[in-house]
Structure 1
Amino acid sequence: MEPFWQYSISHNSACKVIESQTLWGETICRVWLPGRDTVVRVPASRLQPLESAGANSSDHIAYVAAAARVADALTQDVLLAPIESTVIPLPHQIRALSRAIEHDRVRYLLADEVGLGKTIEAGLILRELKLRGLARRTLVVAPKGLATQWVSEMRFHFGETFQLVLPEDIKTLKRIAPESLLGKQDANNHGPETLPANAWQMFSQVVVPMDSVKPMDKRRGWNAAQVAEYNRNRFEDLISAGWDLVIVDEAHRLGGSTDQVARFKLGKGLSEAAPYFLLLSATPHQGKTDAFHRLVSLIDADEFPDIASVTRERVQPYVIRTEKRQAIDAEGNPLFKPRRTELASVSWEDRHEEQRQLYEAVTAYAREGYNQAMQEKRNYIGFLMILMQRLVVSSTAAIRSTLERRLDALAAPQEQMSLFPELSEEEWSDLDGQEQIEVLLHSRFKALKNERAEVKLLLDAAARCEQTGPDAKAEALLDWLYRLQSEEGDPDLKALVFTEFVPTQEMLRHFLTERGFSVVCLNGSMSMEERKRVQEDFAGDARILISTDAGGEGLNLQFCHVVINYDIPWNPMRLEQRIGRVDRIGQTHVVRAVNFVFEDSVEHRVREVLETKLAVIFEEFGIDKTGDVLDSAQAGKLFDEMYVEAILNPERVDESVENAVARLEEQAREARSTASILGAAEELNPGEAQRLLTHPLPHWVERMTVSYLSANGGSAEKKKRGWHLTWPDGDTITNVVFSGKEAEQRPGARHLTLEEPKVRGLAMRLPRLAPGQPIPIASIPGLSEEIQGVWSLWRIAIASMEWNRRRIMPLFLADNGMVYMPTARRVWDQLLAVDADIRGIWDMDLTRKAHDQLHAAAEDHGRPIYEELVREHRDRISREREKADYAFAARRRNIEKIGLPQVRNYRLNLLAQEEQNLRKQLDQKAQAYPELTPLLMMRVEGNHE
């Protein structure tokens, strides 16, 4: 039989019948479905002649016109997330999203400076991938202190629900996973299947703390089997759980000091766990090219096979970065207000004599204890001594409670104490002062000589000191609060107070509460719900929030503009991060930062000299370049050493600071020369955000969906609270809205977007117009009567082994034989707004002639579009070839360094074979095939109203 065209009711599509067979009274046809490019069997009873298919109704025309516009928007990189979201992105966030999705491989380093909203950018990219149907399962890996922030920000800004999985949850999940996963349906809804008991598959969106899932090589007291089970449950199962998108916050922590560090191994596993991969870091380089190379190699190992590959030209395409000084709002105004920072010297009055003596006694104890610990190579005792110095500067309560706990530890049997955990330098520097104290006081190590007696004496002195009245700094804090209240002209002024230690926090809470202030506290030990409640209280009636560094991680407190650093962290970058909690997008006031330090103390002298020197460095190198250096374990160690040197030898403070700053300056100079590889600043467009807010995509999606249902046996009824939709298969959805603005205005409404597979499928599986299919005659309201001709829509595509690109082209062939492209676009626009008035079916002889003429015109006018697609494809293949050549050359150089000729030659032969296979694959990918497909045709005879 000769193939012929029919309409499949089952598939709502024209199809070509290629074979039919009648058996026992039933005729079954094998038909080709062009939209799916598949051959299926269909009962003859489910086929109709094209003339009676209903494909010429005004609803069908409206559906195809709207669906084609949606499909075209998706191929033209229109940004869906800002259109469909309640978040109003800023120009730099729009640019970040635009750059992130301009290529198939969404693998980037988001490197905006602190406070520019990298979390929002990542959320926009997540939403964009979901709306495009490219991502369903997302994993976020973040430092412990930021994990809860990710959950709340994704829920608040994007309505995305993430499951927070803490270390203590993993065993519980492992135990219940088999029951939860048993009988779970697969992604294609093919029915129940038995899945492996991988706890990480229970949730489609997960946030997990970074250090709770990194692999370990060994652990004291564990055998190899225990280590293997730990790694399987936390690391191997995690990376094999089938993620589509992996996001890593504070990603510079994955760089590590070598490629054998646990965090880098975690990064390596995560980079291979998903096709889409985002690394977030305000300070990705940190002045160390080897660590930065390890970081970018996680994005693309072939692009960055060795340190020599880390060049500006190769790195820039993978990095998205905005500096604060560039950032603007939607009107083009600078995004950030200026900042005013003051050093507040706190003096010891006569009534504080006991406190001054306690400070000197603890300083002497710390100095002698540190020297003794270093002589005996007992670093952990040295850490404790340094912390004692920081504690006495913080408060009498902090040093007293720690001395009590140290005395208890010295009296406790050694077997009751834990071993000091195996922490890397990076992990130790990530802990705040309180967390470091907790680790040390719970660890097992012997006392220093006469330590117990000294601790007892100091403890007695601290107890006497507390009896004499409030700390000098607490009184100074009260004075400053009243002073700031007056200067800012606000009797209800809010202030964020930072301290390193929980006992100081508790002391200040009591002190301020007794004096009439409403106070709330945050520290690293609090749960997500507790943190959320505290932040809500501070946004409400509470005037003072007292936070530790760990408690302050992830805070966004733009409604407050005063930060008081009650204790000064030794690393200036931690100070910057604290102030960054209020110096964020949305801050409307000049930020005030007040830094407390005792007069006539070692810390005061260090701070005076350091601030002067740092100001010079910041002026020369800029805070953004210096920030890369400051926010590193290396810098933390440098400042620790500087302060320790100053405490041990107070007469040489200037020299200690001078040496440290000289090293910092050298690192900053290196960072300036190497950080240029992150790329130059781009001009931001303030109008893009406004344009996206008024984009008609939600209207197109609404028209597409409603028209499809009306044309294909479903129904769409507009009611007061929204649409009532019934799909052809009987599924019903009520209270449906199609725009983010409507969803916000109507609580409880169902916001239907392209994220819904059924809706997205309407745009992605456009019905094909069959040759000889009847052409309707229509008039279109709003068009001039002079417009007479045949209008059509065409899909132009290029298909290769792994790459498909398509464009939609409207075409208008006037009765005078001319093709008018602007008229074609005008007709298309009008069909998205009004219904065509179908007045009949055109003569079949004229229809066949029009098909031929339009095909020839589409081939002619579509050529530039096709050539652009071919050029994009060739550029992509060329880039892959270039990357492969570089990677193979780097690997070849490494193999050629092998001394044994037999091993060297064997490895070179294997490499040559691998290279040959890859070249064959690239040759196959390079083959691309053109497609030109008619989607819609109609005879337009103006508007006869």
Structure 2
Amino acid sequence: MNFPLGSVVQYRGRPWVVQDREGEALRLRPLGGGEDHALLVHPLVAQKIPWERLEPGRFPPPRPEGITSPFLYRLFEEAATLLLRESVAPLRSISKVSVRPRPYQLVPLLMALRLQPVRLLIADDVGVGKTIEAGLVVRELLDSKEARRVAVLVPPHLMEQWVYELREKFALEAVPISPATLARLERDLPPGQNVYTHYPVQVISIDFVKHPRHRPLFLESRPDVVVVDEAHGAVGGPRQENQMRYTLVRELAEDPNRHLLLLTATPHSGIPDAFQRLLGLLHPEFQGWSLEDLTEERRARLARHFVQRTRRDVLENWEGGRLFPERIAREVTYLLSPEYRTLYDTTYSYARKLVRTGEGLGETQRRFRWWAALALLRAVMSSPRAAQAALARRQARVGEDLQDTPLEAFAPQVFEAGDLPADDEVPTPLLTLAGEEAEMELKEEPLRALRRLAQALTPEKDSKLQGVIAQVRKLLEEGHEPVVWCHYVDTAEYVAEELRKALPGVAVAAVTGRMDGELRREAIAELMTKSPRVLVATDCVSEGINLQAGFSAAIHYDLPWNPNRLEQREGRVDRYGQPKPQVVVVRYYGGDNPMDRAVLEVLLRKAEEIRNALGIHVPVPREEAYVVDRMVRRLFYSSGAQPLLLPEAEEVEREWQMDVERERKTRTRFAQWALKPAEAMAALKDSDAVLGTPERVERFVLEALERLGLRPEAEGNGVYRIPLGEWLRDLEARGLGSLAELLVRAFPRVALPLGQTLGRRQEERTLRLAFQDPVPEGALYVGRNHPLVVGLARYAFERALRREEDFGRYTALRTSGVDRVVYLYLLRPRYLLRLSRGQAGGEVLGEEVLSVAYRGGELLPPEETQAFLRLSPEDNVPKEEAQVHLERALRFFSEGQEGIMEVLKSRARKLQEDHRRVRQAAQMTGRVEVVPADLPDLLGVRILVPKRG
């Protein structure tokens, strides 16, 4: 027996809908359940087992004894809408994501719907929401069957962040593929599969899969969609690692049918021709185009694939009100104490001698000494503890032979290269080798003296530490929760310990590279449950964890030596979703510390001038050459002759200025003026009409909670306060423990350790919820796919199906708004969406919840139906009378199937027009067709009876 997509079958004693096909197997979803209850059934196997047999089925009609009040019936109606996951609206992805995208964040998705294949360079500013924009495109391609497998290529330090974002925001369970996870994943593989073919959504370390040992197998797996994050680091450069990344991504782009999303906030990375190579990944022809003299036709072609917007663009052209916080920058100085000054001067003398005695050496040896001198100074000026660690480890020789180690391998120990992960350990091997290589006359005795000076520098004598304690205290008094950024683990742990002593009652946590990614995330999540709080972190956090929900200030305890890193740090709190109207960033430095002054003058202030002029960050080209040259020249040759240390450094500065001008032009040209806000708003409105608006979600949650005995308190500004603990215990006592457990999982921050019983797990804790995004400070966002909404919707829907707790599937009310009896049928129609573009696409199932009015033997137009839905009850209808009306309503529905199908066909034509409008039929290749799949489910009936007299 054939069961087409969208048909209803009877299986295991209940009705199911055929949701999809996977080979010969049918994917069934229970008509009264969600995606988590879906299963695969092979028809041939089912037919051979009597109790597993598949039969044609239908959704059962309401029963006469299932009458309910108008209030509970409305909860049932809303629950049915909020449980929809296979949306028939043009943007199918919206039904499965847990974020409420802003109209400007829909632009890449709307661009993608007009391309085949999808080739996009998304270069929006830091903190605008590129992950959300890319996630929507990926979700849409999967939900429309234009893709089956997705590979997200990221730097290793961003893997966990992407896995988390895909799971929490887009309901996509991605597996991380890296050297650390490969063996475990391979153990779970079925025969004949590999990790790239078996898992549908993968987050892959680009530095793992680029290797010649792994690249061929990955390329053979032919993923349908490839997302490349930090794409500027994958288009070549002087390091072999960059060239291997580019080889991998270029080979992926050569498949003309593959969807490719390139994400970067800095497309002009400063590497010559890198931007052209990025464009060439979109289309080979683009690589030869010069942006300086694009024709209008070429500019229009490129604009279909390239979007680049600053925050200023978004605010001025897309959004009213406040989306991003105002960044308040402060510069705060401290003066070195006499003890710290002695330590610095002594260290400086040693480092200067190391540099000056190497002037006659070859370039590699000279540069090695520069790096070592800078690294030693940096560790000493970070903190006494980092100084002790550097000097102690310097005295203990490194056992392994590092003499043949390439110079670039030590790069992360000196400065923060934009394309390398952060290294927050004191640079042991570099300092050891430099001392041994220099063969300095007094190399051991000066270092022992330095170590004694560092040990004598107690926290009380550490003016840098005492100054930051005062700054943290000030920010806390202003209502901010600060992040204190340190360069080294030793410094972060030292600062955290002293802050705890100085600020009793303040929660302080140190999060560093000595913790794995999951432990870092857990530590931050735990800290965010406490207030007031301070996070002390190294740059491993600046690369992969967004902090805007819990922190609103940043203090640079150690100034970074790369403006790119400064932007990364501040961008953790200064981004979309920050609930505070302002964030404070404190550039903290020694007023009499020559090293800090050098960093400020040659690096950070120039970058800040660019940011203020353009509203964006432009990275430093060829970072190593520029940073090392400028720092060595400023620190060790500030008086007397300054040799030309690195000839390319002057050229780098010119390139930086050229990049600034290029960035200014491209951001003006490719901010996507062709897509208007009204177009994005219309697409979002189409989705809201099917899935429910945030206002409907808010009303449903508040009414459902009230039904369950909890009355949320309105605080104003859209925030509601809910005392969760006692209420959960009450739910358990009423036999609703499963709902209570779901709510505990929905709000893990209010849960105590899971080993305790539910009654003891919840203390008297209060939740603050909001239904609009971005959320006010201290509140949790609750959208239609939040576990709270899903749990309450399932509670109301399932109780109505089972006729429990006074819920039911029909209601009757008297109203003066009608002069004859009106039957409002609550339908759940299913449609087949035939979406095709070239070879891609297929037939997918779409659903909606629809009310249709019947009066006097005829079906009424939609506008009259909406008017009837707004009528309020003015009097009750006796149960016996209501049952008579229900019997008539069911008879009329059965006899009027032909008319119902005509209504659905008309509705399908409207939906088809919406799909075509969004995709701009004149530009798309392929077709869109929407047709009713079968008779709709009759979920319920609202009966309007004329008021007597």
Give the structure-2-normalised TM-score. 0.62
Match of 2:723 in 1: none
Q: Does 1:253 align with 2:253?
A: no
Match of 2:249 in 1: 267
Match of 2:567 in 1: 576
Instruction: Show CA shifts across 1:793-827 (max 9, x none).
Output: 99998858656699999999999999845347778
Counterparts of 1:798-837 in structure 2 under 5 Å? 802=841, 820=861, 822-823=863-864, 837=886
Match of 1:221 in 2: none
How far residue 553 of structure 1 moved from its aligned partner, in angstroms, is 2.6
Task: Give the SS at the match of 2:443.
Answer: helix
Q: Does 1:388 align with 2:434?
A: no
How far residue 481 of structure 1 moved from its aligned partner, in angstroms, is 1.9
In structure 1, give the amino acid aligned to 2:205. Answer: P
Match of 1:282 in 2: 265
Match of 2:666 in 1: 674
- Seen in structure 2, the aligned counterparts of structure 1 residues 204 and 867 have a Cα distance that, compared at 3 Å, is closer
Task: Give the SS at the match of 1:167.
Answer: coil
Match of 1:209 in 2: 205
Match of 2:484 in 1: 497
Alignment match of 1:548 (pick from 527, 538, 543): 538
> 1:370 touches 1:381 (CA, 8 Å); kept in 2?
yes
User: Structure 1: how far apart are the matches of 2:439 and 2:456?
Assistant: 26
Instruction: Show CA shifts across 1:358-378 (max 9, x none).
Output: 243134134226635544667
- Seen in structure 2, the aligned counterparts of structure 1 residues 152 and 335 have a Cα distance that, compared at 3 Å, is same
Q: Does 1:181 align with 2:181?
A: no
Alignment match of 1:875 (pick from 906, 911, 921): 921
Higher relative contact order (CA 8 A, sep 6+): 2
Match of 2:629 in 1: 641
How far residue 593 of structure 1 moved from its aligned partner, in angstroms, is 0.6
User: Structure 2: how far apart are the matches of 1:862 and 1:428?
Assistant: 51
How far residue 459 of structure 1 moved from its aligned partner, in angstroms, is 0.9
- Seen in structure 2, the aligned counterparts of structure 1 residues 752 and 531 have a Cα distance that, compared at 3 Å, is closer
Q: Does 1:664 align with 2:656?
A: yes
How far residue 456 of structure 1 moved from its aligned partner, in angstroms, is 2.0
Task: Give the SS at the match of 1:593.
Answer: strand
Instruction: Show CA shifts across 1:756-779 (max 9, x none).
Output: 9xx9xxxxxxxxxxxxxxxxxx99
Q: Does 1:339 align with 2:339?
A: no
Counterparts of 1:748-787 in structure 2 under 5 Å? 784=818
User: Structure 1: how far apart are the matches of 2:700 and 2:484?
Assistant: 48
User: Structure 2: how far apart are the matches of 1:116 and 1:583?
Assistant: 10
Alignment match of 2:420 (pick from 430, 444, 468): 430
- Seen in structure 2, the aligned counterparts of structure 1 residues 362 and 563 have a Cα distance that, compared at 3 Å, is farther
Q: Does 1:531 align with 2:531?
A: no
Gaps (5+ residues) in structure 1? Answer: 1-5, 15-37, 183-193, 218-227, 701-719, 723-732, 760-777, 881-924
Q: Does 1:91 align with 2:102?
A: yes
Counterparts of 1:894-909 in structure 2 under 5 Å? none
How far residue 291 of structure 1 moved from its aligned partner, in angstroms, is 2.4
- Seen in structure 2, the aligned counterparts of structure 1 residues 811 and 535 have a Cα distance that, compared at 3 Å, is closer
How far residue 383 of structure 1 moved from its aligned partner, in angstroms, is 3.4
How far residue 582 of structure 1 moved from its aligned partner, in angstroms, is 3.2
How far residue 571 of structure 1 moved from its aligned partner, in angstroms, is 1.8
- Seen in structure 2, the aligned counterparts of structure 1 residues 523 and 373 have a Cα distance that, compared at 3 Å, is farther
> 2:824 touches 2:851 (CA, 8 Å); kept in 1?
no
User: Structure 2: how far apart are the matches of 1:564 and 1:812?
Assistant: 62
User: Structure 2: how far apart are the matches of 1:352 and 1:132?
Assistant: 64
Match of 2:695 in 1: 694
Task: Give the SS at the match of 1:338.
Answer: strand
Report which stretch shifted further, 458-467 or 813-822: 813-822
User: Structure 2: how far apart are the matches of 1:40 and 1:516?
Assistant: 68
> 2:122 touches 2:261 (CA, 8 Å); kept in 1?
yes
- Seen in structure 2, the aligned counterparts of structure 1 residues 379 and 357 have a Cα distance that, compared at 3 Å, is closer
Largest Rg, 1 or 2: 1
- Seen in structure 2, the aligned counterparts of structure 1 residues 752 and 241 have a Cα distance that, compared at 3 Å, is farther
In structure 1, give the amino acid aligned to 2:244. Answer: A
Task: Give the SS at the match of 2:555.
Answer: strand
How far residue 506 of structure 1 moved from its aligned partner, in angstroms, is 4.9
Instruction: Show CA shifts across 1:10-64 (max 9, x none).
Output: 99899xxxxxxxxxxxxxxxxxxxxxxx999999x99xxx99999988899x999
How far residue 321 of structure 1 moved from its aligned partner, in angstroms, is 5.4
Q: Does 1:74 align with 2:90?
A: no
> 1:791 touches 1:937 (CA, 8 Å); kept in 2?
no
> 2:370 touches 2:632 (CA, 8 Å); kept in 1?
no
Match of 1:451 in 2: 439
User: Structure 2: how far apart are the matches of 1:863 and 1:826?
Assistant: 23
Task: Give the SS at the match of 1:591.
Answer: strand
Q: Does 1:402 align with 2:390?
A: yes
How far residue 669 of structure 1 moved from its aligned partner, in angstroms, is 1.0
- Seen in structure 2, the aligned counterparts of structure 1 residues 436 and 677 have a Cα distance that, compared at 3 Å, is farther
How far residue 678 of structure 1 moved from its aligned partner, in angstroms, is 3.5
- Seen in structure 2, the aligned counterparts of structure 1 residues 934 and 820 have a Cα distance that, compared at 3 Å, is farther
User: Structure 2: how far apart are the matches of 1:447 and 1:601?
Assistant: 27
For this pair of structures, how many residues does the alignment match?
A: 777
Instruction: Show CA shifts across 1:640-659 (max 9, x none).
Output: 33223323531489999998
Q: Does 1:839 align with 2:893?
A: no
- Seen in structure 2, the aligned counterparts of structure 1 residues 274 and 206 have a Cα distance that, compared at 3 Å, is farther
Alignment match of 1:195 (pick from 177, 192, 217): 192
Match of 1:922 in 2: none
> 2:833 touches 2:931 (CA, 8 Å); kept in 1?
yes
- Seen in structure 2, the aligned counterparts of structure 1 residues 697 and 484 have a Cα distance that, compared at 3 Å, is closer
Give the structure-1-normalised TM-score. 0.62
How far residue 336 of structure 1 moved from its aligned partner, in angstroms, is 0.3
User: Structure 2: how far apart are the matches of 1:434 and 1:243?
Assistant: 35
In structure 1, give the amino acid aligned to 2:465. Answer: L
> 2:591 touches 2:597 (CA, 8 Å); kept in 1?
yes
User: Structure 2: how far apart are the matches of 1:41 and 1:515?
Assistant: 70
User: Structure 1: how far apart are the matches of 2:436 and 2:290?
Assistant: 49
How far residue 670 of structure 1 moved from its aligned partner, in angstroms, is 1.8
User: Structure 2: how far apart are the matches of 1:824 and 1:567?
Assistant: 65
In structure 2, give the amino acid aligned to 1:839. Answer: R
In structure 2, give the amino acid aligned to 1:465. Answer: L
Task: Give the SS at the match of 1:216.
Answer: coil
Match of 1:762 in 2: none
How far residue 550 of structure 1 moved from its aligned partner, in angstroms, is 2.6
Match of 1:220 in 2: none
> 1:142 touches 1:207 (CA, 8 Å); kept in 2?
yes
Alignment match of 2:558 (pick from 543, 564, 567): 567
User: Structure 2: how far apart are the matches of 1:122 and 1:859?
Assistant: 34
In structure 1, give the amino acid aligned to 2:863. Answer: P
How far residue 696 of structure 1 moved from its aligned partner, in angstroms, is 7.0
- Seen in structure 2, the aligned counterparts of structure 1 residues 660 and 743 have a Cα distance that, compared at 3 Å, is closer
Instruction: Show CA shifts across 1:290-317 (max 9, x none).
Output: 423433554x447856546996533444
User: Structure 2: how far apart are the matches of 1:7 and 1:204?
Assistant: 27
Instruction: Show CA shifts across 1:350-395 (max 9, x none).
Output: x445324224313413422663554466754553344334334434
> 1:434 touches 1:501 (CA, 8 Å); kept in 2?
yes
Match of 1:324 in 2: 311
Task: Give the SS at the match of 1:168.
Answer: coil
User: Structure 2: how far apart are the matches of 1:424 and 1:753?
Assistant: 48
Task: Give the SS at the match of 1:535.
Answer: helix
User: Structure 2: how far apart are the matches of 1:596 and 1:784?
Assistant: 75
- Seen in structure 2, the aligned counterparts of structure 1 residues 93 and 318 have a Cα distance that, compared at 3 Å, is same
